[in-house]
Chains A and B, each alone.
Chain A
Amino acid sequence: MRSTTDSTTEAAVQRPNIFKSLFPSVVSGIVLGVVAAAIAGVLINKITTAYSPDGVPNDDAVAAAVYIAWVIFFFVGIGTFNGVFKWAFARREPTPAEELQLAGKDQGLWRYFRFTTDHKVVGMQYLATVFVTFFLGSMGAFMIRLEQSRPGAIFFNPATYNTIVGMHGILMIASTIIMISGPFGNFILPIMIGARDMAFPRLNALSYWLLFTAIPIFLSTLFLGGFQTGWTGYAPLAVQGLTPGMDAYCFTILVFAISTTLAAVNIITTTMVMRTKGMTWGRLPIFVWGVVFSVILSLTAFPSFIITQIMVMMDRIFNTSFFLAASGGSNWMYQHLFWFMGHPEVYVIGLPALAVAAELSPVFTRKPLFGYRLMVASIVGISILSVIVWGHHLYVSGSENALTIPFMLDTELISIPTGIFFLVLVGTLWRGKIWLTVPMLFVCGVLVNFVIGGITGIYLADLPTDEILHGGMFVTAHFHFTLVGAGVFGFFAALYYWFPKMVGKRLDPLLGKLHFWLFEIGFVGTFTALFYAGLQGEPRWSANIAPPFATANLIASLFAILIAASVFTFVFNVIYTLVRGEVAVANEWGAKTLEWTVPTPVPLENFEELPVVTSLPYNYGSPVPEPVTPAAEIPGITQAPTLPQVED
């Protein structure tokens, strides 16, 4: 399908050809996907109508067929399977020239719109996608604050409001899951460990484009009547055959979870086998530890989510009854399966953000991380404990009275490794030379917000207080403090820190500071007010808030205006920087990790010669003088000229 680009046909490669640049690319993928989806939809509509006793098509089956055809034929169109035909069936390895062509060599900006395997392209694709989904999700948040600013459902009707809440939830959860592991885990992590690419470059491209196909599926719910379940999608509410908008939710989760699982496999394998010489586990930057354990957790979590949504779709399409008590099912099963995914998942979001905070603080205090091994132990400890705490979401469900006490113990034990994180961060700041750049401001924001988020979690872990707070606004405020206050602030810290390396321009620091302060003040104000409302007993998901909670909600909505202002400040900053930002230098912050040793923009295979690592990258102010070879720009990292080339 794709023209061969062997070196023997260089004459054909030189000629610009509109057909060749469009096919395969995202354009041909979308065209083929849409055509196939339309055909599948019409076909299944006819078939289900013909076989239905009352002559009505099965909407859910039609929706599922449309989505399946869209995903499969999008990938045919974008050329995912070309390699299978060309190499796997022909039983030969791709040549280096073919690999480079696939990695987007000499394709200019168009490589971002193709099935490109270069990890830096995939990282930038993730970053752009995260910007879009974050923006849409935050618009949902402001609509929620608008509706809740006054008692009574006056701005949106309850059906619209429930859909907005659900879409805000899924967009934000999906964005926060990929926001650090996607852009920075793909772009920065391989360079950080001294690799030329990810372990499975084509799998890497597949995981991104799966995410891409999930977005139109999810937005299609708007045209199919939306969904009423909130982001949790609890059955049996999800099984009630209200509108096919629910199928869009289920299928989005399916595609997204497969994408995330593939990305997780890739990141874990890359870190295990692609580390450069001397990059032992004990010298791994702490950011790599955070991302790796985050994706290990997502490997345990997401299969459960995939299974749950398949069961819901079977209940909807084939009238099975996994979750219907009347015919032998149980809604508790949905909750257990869901939270078996749901609780590790918040640490999937949290761990990379905490690792970013720990990675950045040595750079901006010019001193080593205060207890590298403690921090690793903290990450590992959180990961292990977080898979056995899901039951605290079912304290008051009536399903597991015998397990309440063990789950309470597990949940409270997590505060021990989390406490270590604070010890490490506070210790790193102590008596450093604190350089308060915009990334460092966001790290401080992570510290402040995560203390509040963590401590309010204690109230929800302890049964007596959970009984009055469960299912209320207090919970909402708590998890926004952890997911936004720690997670998204950590994402912005990473973004302001690595943006000069990824894009080659530095984000404007003055606008960055404005962004931070608007965000922090607006955020703390909004959710402190919601803590109060939740303590008074306001339930979640309320289109129509009761009068006793009106004042607190109005205050929250007013503070949310500051958050909206911060969003637009940030958008302006990115556009302004892309248009006329200052060009960044190769080592913008004087950091010692490997990604700052390569030039900006990063060349296709990252390193001319793979570096050899001799110590941790945090040896600031080290009393032990490091041996420095003249070739090395940075102490602790020497260039090894005799190292054999891996791929060329």
Chain B
Amino acid sequence: MSEANTEENAGSASTAPAEPRHLRRVVIIWAVLSVIVIAIWLAVAQFILPPAASSLNSAQNFTFLVLTVLSVPVALFVFVFLGYSLFAFRVRDRPTEDGVPLQPRPALQIGWLGITSLLCLFLFIWGTFAIYQETAAASTPNTLVVNVTAQQWQWTFDYPQYGATSQGAQVIELPVNRPVVFNVTSKDVLHGFNIRALGVRVDANPGYVVSTAVVTPTQTGSYVVQCVEICGLLHSYMWEAVNVVSADAFNSWITSQGGHV
């Protein structure tokens, strides 16, 4: 490809006729719009992101917030340059003359690669740090253990510390402000165990038991445990309520399920 005219770096400055300074304009538009959209996002994020019921989910929501702040300038870069080009350089009919034969200068290529690499590096470090934080939260004797068994098409929740089992119930309960770990498995096919508000999500694999991160519910309220992996006919009915309640209420509920406090 050496002799092809891609080699010719025409240089935008030398061939540019006396035109408005497109590049300066478009960069200003981009910067201003980015600031505005980020501000709008920060203002409305609390209404868009669902309320978090655990510190883990708060961290996940915060990551979502940060990634969106980073994404806005990246997306707007393409939108603004595309929109501006269509606005400023469009010809109404079949063009009779050719455009300016620009080629990327080495500095632009290196700069572009550098910026995208830095963004990438940031994402990687952020994600790795989050994994470290999750796995660092170890079980303590106080941790509530819940053994979850999925089957077509219901959940069984077993509380071994209390000797209580809830199978196919409409609702289960968890105590607030007490760490809990779910050991998840399946009786038949693959299911997906997910409590969105607590931020726990792991597959229920037949024949294997997989533990979630240790998570501490921080807000009382009614949430949902649902299957998020297609498991056959009644997959979309495989959900039930998870109530995060006070320790006293939890104790009376677990007794009603046949457990011993």
Residues of A within 8 A of B (CB): 153, 158-159, 162, 228-230, 232, 234, 236-237, 240, 242, 280-283, 324-326, 330-332, 365-374, 396-399, 404-405, 408-409, 412-413, 415-416, 419-420, 422-423, 426-427, 429-436, 444, 447-448, 451-452, 455, 458-459, 461-465, 467-468, 470-472, 532, 535-537, 539-546, 590, 615-616, 618-624
Chain B: minimal CB distance from A455 (Å): 5
Residues of B within 8 A of A281 (CB): 1
Instruction: Check A543 against B89 for contact (C-beta < 8 Å).
Output: no
A-contacting 9-mer, from B108-116, B155-163, B164-172: B108-116
Bound-state CA distance A366–B230 (Å) is: 49
Q: A471-B229, A590-B94 are in contact. List 13 more A-B contacts (CB 8 A).
A: A153-B236, A237-B231, A331-B190, A408-B127, A416-B116, A430-B81, A431-B100, A451-B79, A537-B196, A539-B192, A615-B5, A621-B97, A622-B101
Which residue of chain A has its CB nearest to the CB of B120? A412
Candidates B67, B97, B206; contact of A366 at CB < 8 Å: B97
Query: Would you list the 10 A-B pairs with minimal beta carbon distance, nearest first?
Result: A282-B1, A325-B207, A621-B98, A398-B210, A367-B99, A537-B196, A471-B228, A432-B99, A433-B95, A542-B236
Report whether A413 and B120 are in contact in the complex, using a CB–CB cutoff of 8 Å: yes
In the complex, whether B252 has a CB less than 8 A from a CB of chain A is: no
Which residues of A have CB within 8 Å of B224? 537, 546
Q: How far is the CA of A537 from the CA of B117 in the complex (A)?
A: 31
CB distance from A100 to the nearest CB of B (A): 36
B81 touches A162 (CB 8 A): no
Contacts known (A325-B205, A616-B5); A444 close to B82, Cβ less than 8 A: yes
How many contacts between A and B, using CB within 8 angstroms? 301
Cβ-based interface call for B256 (8 A): no
A621 to B48, CA, bound (A): 49
Interface pair B190/A236, CB less than 8 Å apart: yes
A426 touches B78 (CB 8 A): yes
What distance in Å separates the Cβ of B128 from its nearest Cβ neighbour in chain A? 6
Report the Cα distance A234→B192, complex, angstroms.
12
B233 touches A162 (CB 8 A): yes
23 contacts between A and B (CB under 8 A): A158-B237, A228-B232, A326-B207, A331-B190, A366-B95, A370-B102, A396-B201, A397-B210, A398-B203, A412-B127, A415-B116, A419-B112, A420-B113, A429-B81, A431-B89, A448-B79, A452-B75, A464-B126, A465-B60, A468-B196, A535-B50, A541-B230, A622-B101
A462 and B103 form a contact (CB under 8 A) = no
Contact A621 B194 (CB under 8 A): no
* A468 and B201 within 8 A (CB): yes
CB-based contact B199/A468 at 8 Å: yes
Are B95 and A540 within 8 A (Cβ)?
A: no
CA–CA, A412 and B6, complex, Å: 30
Is residue B74 within 8 Å, beta carbon to beta carbon, of the partner chain? yes
CB pair A371–B103 under 8 Å, yes or no, is yes
- B113: nearest residue on chain A (CB-CB)? A416
